[in-house]
Structure 1
Amino acid sequence: MENAQQKITTFLMFDGKAEEAMNYYVATFDQAEILSIRRYGANEGGAEGSVLHATFSLYGQVFMCIDSSTKHEFTFTPAISLYVTCTTDDEIERYFEKLSQGGQVLMPLGEYPGIGKFAWLADKYGVSWQLNLQKNA
């Protein structure tokens, strides 16, 4: 369910893969759901049937996404990432395994001084994720 208290929402712009990415994230994380999808119709600027606007939630955090109707030279960058606090070894390992498939590992899953068990990656859609194990979270 959309969080009425959330004032700022992460917005993800895809190039034809918004619905595929949403389904991937909802299947990867527990407590995740697609909240709404509006699609481009005929002659509406975007590819008919692609995502005009959609929302999904991961652990109550709402995200918006679209399939851009305009081709751009840019995509996602690791300068902004989604930071996931994990509470068990199984959780961080499961997320790392799933999100790194077809993506790029920026920092391998491992123990880092001052950080603990951590990984940083860009998934197959180019979205950057930081995974951190905090057993007392």
Structure 2
Amino acid sequence: MPHHVAPQLMFEGNAEQAMRFYVSLFDDSDIVRLDRYGPEGPGREGSIMQAEFTLAGRRYTCIDSHIAHPFSFTPSISLFVECESREEFERLLEQLSEQGETLMPSDDYGFSTRFAWINDRFGVSWQLNLA
């Protein structure tokens, strides 16, 4: 039986907003499954108990943790995007960096013609690369 390996993103109340935003950015992306907490909890009713989505054909999962944690996302793991055109690079950079944080500004760093590393408004880290 094959194993399925997928990154799981843990949010604290905005999983659905993040997932819908990410799916809107990439072709071949969709929400596959969305299970919500009901009135019995333990999470806030309507928040994401477990969801599965695809980005550019790759599988991801996410949850809304009902427990406050002393940690969040870290750039030590990031989503790496190979952009096919300068237009795609600029569009993704603009949308993902809105209300986010720039770790490495868009530039030619020698290993590609254009590269940027950002944390989006949800705290998820993205590396954008134009070869």
Q: Which TM-score tier does this pair reach, normalised by the shorter chain? A: over 0.9
Within 5 Å, give how 1:1-137 maps onto structure 2.
7-134=4-131
Deviates more, 1:65-74 or 1:111-120: 111-120
Normalization by structure 2: what TM-score? 0.95
Change (3 A) 1:96 1:6: farther
Q: Percent identity?
A: 47
Partner Cα separation in structure 2 for residue 91 and residue 51 of structure 1 = 30
How many residue pairs match? The answer is 130
Q: Secondary structure at the match of 1:85?
A: strand
Which amino acid is the alignment partner of residue 105 of structure 2?
A: P
Gaps of 5+ in 1: none
* Change in 2 beyond 3 A, CA 1:63/1:6: farther
Shift in Å, 1:86: 0.7
**Structure 1 70/27 Cα, relative in aligned 2: closer, same or farther at 3 Å?**
same
Tell me the secondary structure at the aligned position of residue 16 of structure 1. Answer: coil
What are the ranges of 5 or more consecutive residues in structure 2 without an aligned counterpart? Answer: none
How far did 1:43 drift? Answer: 1.8
Q: Which piece of structure 1 moves more, 107-116 or 117-126?
A: 107-116
After superposing on structure 2, the runs of 4+ consecutive aligned residues of structure 1 that deviate more than 4 Å are: none
Separation of aligned partners in 2, 1:131 and 1:6? 28
